[in-house]
Structure 1
């Protein structure tokens, strides 16, 4: 019987692991790193410095924000005071450096009160906790909780900040699926509001790949990116408030994992992340928009 040392077993399994990773198909996305396993349910990302990103997780996880570097290591975290993670679904930031947490996940369309938490720039904070102000809102068009299946339009996982307002793009859960999304607007100041309905538009008709899971706007205000499970909708040549009338480019990312978050690194590059599910995903990616 041939004896193989533990050392060679280790080398063999390491080479096998590298081979498996290299053979994974990431479509049009360039993989940067894997996300820490305790952040498998990451649902929002934003960037403040060139070498790190802030993340949140969604329903059932801690009331925390986390900073990771581009090696996938957690380098800092804060408990968010005056906040509760009912269903945190996206992160946004403004040009002054404030960070916004969208606590508006609403799978069953039965939440009567929704919240966006406004935080100061986390890069400036000390200690292990960070204060939050509440921006509370309702959708005035929703009359029943939940509405009938054909009106399940009031879940949301995507928003961005522009010019003193937060723009929320809803996630469609209608049965039968009709591919529509709503755009709402709320002020970026502490208070309680009725969200203003800006527009209704059709994304596409495939439920598996058309529901919007994250959004961001470039710092120069010329591009809006909407993420779905496998596609990117890039909007240009638009005017506010109804940016849905702009030019839309549908980009097949070539990946069908649970893509949940995106943010602009610069005006031509995006960072994206997906949840870890069924041994797939859990990664941080980069997408160069100049390729399209």
Structure 2
């Protein structure tokens, strides 16, 4: 009887050992290099766009649709440095970018219902903010306003400037599976945004940025950061190496900019400013 009991105990012990060895451990790792910098000032209720200024540690942001047409200059401690009031309407401002001459581009490109005919990117010099130039456009492949629900992929919340052109990345509201890339001249006037690529990405893109050296493109969406490297040119960044980074508990992140080639600054509509180090 004693021998039988000993054998049973041994068998139970072995079963317990193998059971615990085969059950996977939960993922409790955190994203390396991702940290919160500060809370945004009260004036920035819904940060939607973000761009790094030439002055180290200073940024511009703005609020989402329907808010005042103001640009807010702030630092990495979340302190409001200056409010720049513009003689525009914030119909649906979604992103900010800057060219190599220091011109700022405000993407009034939000198009939730895919029925807008007044899409624009506003270009200005911060030294003369009263002089705003409008880059108005339509999408070359949009024929209906709005198109059928599954074809609604003409909303853009993400843009970046490079080499004399503005690149717009769409937020696929139809199927949620394809980000389209359009190219737009950075000159004022009426233009057609040229469709130059499609990227299978099952997320709705909410922000974009390119590194100062032009070697890394970053996209935001669904508490995730998508990094692209190793491409031939920015116009085909989606053909490069794609890395996905989780931004756990970051909330609805919308603003994205490179501080330098290895550091991203991110803002959320929830009122936080983050840093991610590549």
Q: TM-score range by the shorter chain?
A: 0.7 to 0.9
2:166 and 2:41 map into 1 onto residues whose CA distance is 29
Larger Rg: 2
1:117 alignment counterpart: 122
Q: Which runs of 5+ in 1 are unaligned?
A: 1-24, 205-209, 277-281
**1:9-47 Cα shifts (integer Å, max 9, x gaps):** xxxxxxxxxxxxxxxx99552111100122121101111
Equivalent in the alignment of 2:71: 65
CA distance in 2, matches of 1:26, 1:272: 17
Indicate conservation of the 8 Å contact 2:39/2:273, yes or no: yes
Q: Within 5 Å, give how 1:1-292 maps onto structure 2.
A: 28=32, 29-48=34-53, 49-81=55-87, 83-120=88-125, 122=126, 124-125=127-128, 129-174=129-174, 177-204=175-202, 210-240=203-233, 241-255=235-249, 257-276=251-270, 282-289=271-278
Moved more, 243-252 or 93-102: 243-252
- Equivalent pair of 1:78/1:130 in contact (CA under 8 Å): no
Determine helix, strand or coil for the equivalent of 2:212.
coil
Distance 1:103 1:227 in 2: 18
Structure 2 gaps of 5+ residues are: 1-28
Question: How many angstroms does 1:145 deviate by?
Answer: 1.1
Q: Classify 1:286/1:178 alpha carbon distance in 2 versus 1 (closer, same or farther; 3 Å).
A: closer
Corresponding residue SS for 1:244: helix
What is the match of residue 6 of structure 2? Answer: none
Instruction: Go from structure 1 to structure 2 and tell me whether the alpha carbon gap of 1:112 and 1:235 turns closer, same or farther (over 3 Å shift).
Output: same
After superposition, what is the alpha-carbon deviation per residue over 1:152-186, rounded to whole angstroms, capped at 9, x for unaligned? 10111000000000000000111xx3410110000
Q: CA RMSD in A?
A: 1.6
Partners of 2:42 and 2:273 in 1: how far apart?
12
Aligned mates of 2:277, 2:130 — CA distance in 1: 33
Is the 1:169–1:183 contact (alpha carbons within 8 Å) kept by the matching residues of 2? yes
Q: Distance in 1 between matches of 2:62 and 2:46?
A: 8
TM-score by length of 1: 0.81
Kept after mapping to 2: 8 A contact 1:27/1:255: no
- 1:229 deviates by 2.1
Q: What CA distance in whole angstroms lies between the structure 2 residues aligned with 1:220 and 1:195? A: 25
Deviations 1:42-96 (A, max 9, x none): 1011111212211111111011111012221211111123x22110000001111
Aligned length: 247
How many angstroms apart in 2 are the aligned matches of 1:27 and 1:258?
Answer: 17
**Aligned counterparts of 2:267 and 2:185: Cα–Cα separation in 1:** 27
